[in-house]
Chain A
Amino acid sequence: MERMKVSLCGIEIDNPVIPASGTFGFGYEFAELYDIDILGTFSFKGTTKDERFGNPTPRIAECTAGMINSVGLQNPGVERVISEELPKLKKVFGKPVMANISGFSVEDYVYTAERLDSEDQIGWFEVNISCPNVHGGGMSFGTDPKSASQVIGAVKKKVSKPVIAKLSPNVTDITTIASACEDAGADGISLINTLLGMRIDLKTKKPVIANIMGGFSGPAVFPVALRMVWQVAHRVKVPVIGLGGISTAEDVIEMMLAGATAVEVGTANLIDPYACFKIINELPSVMDRYGIGSLSKLKEINA
């Protein structure tokens, strides 16, 4: 449907709905339920240079209108993503996929990105800069404009595909980080990653999550995400992908009115595996209800 199409860093996608990394695996669980080729694209499970088990369990905590996760980037490592996951993915998803990559040093990021760059299935890189920098005292790359810029600049230099920087909201001023990434060559910005949070179990009197803290996500964070997307979209010239708590077609439109070119849907997939399917199917009627002709025009309204 023409009115749903948007252009993301030079690649046209059928609709702006993109399952967010870490909530959609490599697609197969969802492909059992519906044809995932209806998606604009999806951002696959955060991939690192080496295989990772991630954090100890419990990794999940319930919250009001949301959840905390502390998975810790469990993934099979880039070599097995290339040799096992991508060939399997090809059978259920025929469009360019977004490669979400993580690392614990600039070299890690560059290695993973270079290995994936030659894979035809990959359309974009989404660089998760919320990981701790082991050479920078464990501080997250994404909380310091200089290290954010280092990672994005280094990856950008080595790959041919568009590079999207995925920002952490756990910063004083997210627009500073966004600008640093844009200046380093980022072709797009996606935000927000999860908000740092925690829960304590009244029965055990101890934190619910084994790692004590984790990332808070779900509908509760939507207003925070919307505000940050608005701020960043007014600051940078590159396209912005808005995410954080989106669970309905109305949320998608609201996020695009804040300046997002496309959106990612994360936690909603975990609660309702049909979430993206439903959002995509409901978008045309919701657009009609609000007199919206074409989604690609929405971001200009409040520009």
Chain B
Amino acid sequence: MNSSLFQIVSNDAIAKNTYRLEILGDAKALKGPGQFINIRIDGMFLRRPISVCTSDRKERITVIYKTVGKGTEALSRMKPGDKLDVLTGLGNSYDLSSSGDKPLLIGGGAGVPPLFWLAEELVKDGKTVRAVLGFNTKEEVFLADDFERLGCEVTVVTVDGSLGRKGFVTDYILRPYTYFYCCGPEPMLKAVYRTVSGSGEFSFEERMGCGFGACMGCSCRTVTGYKRICREGPVLKKEEILWKE
């Protein structure tokens, strides 16, 4: 973990209620895809945890966030040059060593961004990456072209069929893969959990107090004991997940 000031390079709308924020500062505490940062926003008491979309792990961090409340709305109004107080290097990361040759990435909405950094790393390692990216509707689709430019085979799925395939990500994950990585809203994670075969991992969200393991606000039960989503998570292996009833 590191705590430092970052400068905003850009903060632009890229889809409906969706912004890409690029910041410059000390990014050396970041270890790998799956990790998140925790941003202090003027007027808000708690920081806002947001997963990292990509980083050079030196000075540059990109996140993509949705405006879901006052905090993220305030963040969306910030301008290039503005300063942000950010905790970096939080949480664990995806296990790249388990991916096999043909990993499958399954993302939904605000859960898509961390899979992009993962895709970059997997492609760099010479893997054949397939990404199934789900959104509600055409206006909310983002990053699909970026995955394609990386060389991934991309299937875009929208609930209303306004772009790509119609339906849910679970309708398009049946082809063989060596391992899967999944990030998205909890109902999607559960549906994927019931559909997938083989091994893989899921990235979780929870309301957090501190984001670095001190407050025990985001704990969950797992097969291997209690875990903090912010510290031993947000990435959990499929085999260790115990769903909340």
Contact = CB atoms under 8 A, between A and B. Distances in A.
Given A53-B221, A273-B1, A218 B213 contact: no
Given A60-B218, A63-B45, A29 B213 contact: yes
Question: Contact size class for B?
Answer: 20 to 34
A45 B46 CA distance: 21
A170 interface: no
A60 B45 contact: no
Contacts of A208: 207
Nearest to A25: B214
Nearest to A61: B207
Contacts of B71: 62
A69 B1 CA distance: 23
B3 A74 contact: no
A60 B46 contact: yes
Interface string A53-65: 1101111111111
Main secondary structure of the interface of A (DSSP, over half): loop
Given A53-B226, A59-B207, A271 B216 contact: no
B3 A53 contact: no
Question: Contact size class for A?
Answer: 20 to 34
Nearest to A70: B217
A67 B219 contact: no
A197 interface: no
B206 interface: yes
> Which of A65, A271, A274 has the most CB atoms of chain B within a 10 A radius of its CB?
A271
Contacts of A33: 1, 3
Interface string B30-50: 000000000010001111000
A269 to B, nearest CB: 6
A30 B216 CA distance: 14
Interface in B127-154: none
B87 interface: yes
Contacts of A63: 45
Contacts of A64: 45
B212 interface: yes
Given A29-B213, A33-B3, A273-B1, A67 B45 contact: yes
A104 B3 CA distance: 38
A200 interface: no
Nearest to A53: B226
Contacts of B213: 25, 29
Contacts of B214: 23-25, 29-30, 269-270, 273
A62 B3 contact: no
Interface of B: 1, 3, 40, 44-47, 71, 87, 206-210, 212-221, 226, 231, 244
Interface of A: 22-25, 29-30, 32-33, 45, 53-54, 56-67, 69, 71, 74, 208, 218, 269-274
15 contacts: A22-B215, A22-B216, A29-B1, A29-B212, A33-B1, A33-B3, A54-B216, A59-B209, A62-B45, A63-B45, A64-B45, A74-B216, A218-B45, A269-B214, A271-B40
